[in-house]
Amino acid sequence: MANWQRRSLLQALAAAFMGLWRPTAAASAASAVDPAWQLSPAEWRERLSASAFKVLRQAGTEAPFSSPLNAEKRKGTYLCAGCALPLFSSATKFDSGTGWPSFWAPLQKAVDTEVDFKLIVPRTEYHCRRCGGHQGHVFNDGPKPTGKRYCNNGVALTFKADA
């Protein structure tokens, strides 16, 4: 097993464990940039499934290998499940072996990042630029050309296939 695969497997196991261990007062999503998406928790609960609310609005983590988008191979665009902002092109998707949809680059001006200390070690969290919904974390073990791996919760995305 290659070093990056071993590291990815260990990160996936740690994230799955931390998703179970995380205190109930989980961090919330980032603030929405667009005022039209500054919704109350009750309004978000009406719009989202329980699992999408946990990830997008409470910075939760879904179980690895639980999303059908992990195996999605068609050409198209991945959108924020909260506000439908296009976040990733299928051209940047790759199989990271972690159990979550992974991309080597987001679309321009699609995501914002911040440092996250939830696992004590600093990580780069990213969220939807428009609604602030938590998407996942960025790691420095992705393929060229960027060397980045945007590890996304599948429940935080929807997929629109090219016509």
The continuous run of DSSP H or E covering 19 comes out as helix 3-21
Total of domains in the chain: 1
Report the pLDDT value the prediction gives residue 8, as an integer from 0 to 100: 53
Q: What is the model's pTM?
A: 0.81
Report the pLDDT value the prediction gives residue 23, as an integer from 0 to 100: 35
- The closest alpha carbon to 151, from 101, 105, 108, belongs to 101
Residue range(s) defining the domain that contains residue 39 = 3-161
- Over residues 82-96, the pLDDT tens digits come to 999 999 999 999 999
Q: Which residues are catalytic?
A: 151
Report the pLDDT value the prediction gives residue 101, as an integer from 0 to 100: 98
- Over residues 14-37, the pLDDT tens digits come to 554 444 433 333 445 677 778 889
Encoding tokens for residue 99?
A: 């159990």
Q: What is the mean pLDDT of residues 120-145?
A: 93
The CATH number given to whatever domain includes residue 22 is 2.170.150.20
CA distances from 91 to 60, 61, 156, 159 (A): 26, 24, 19, 13
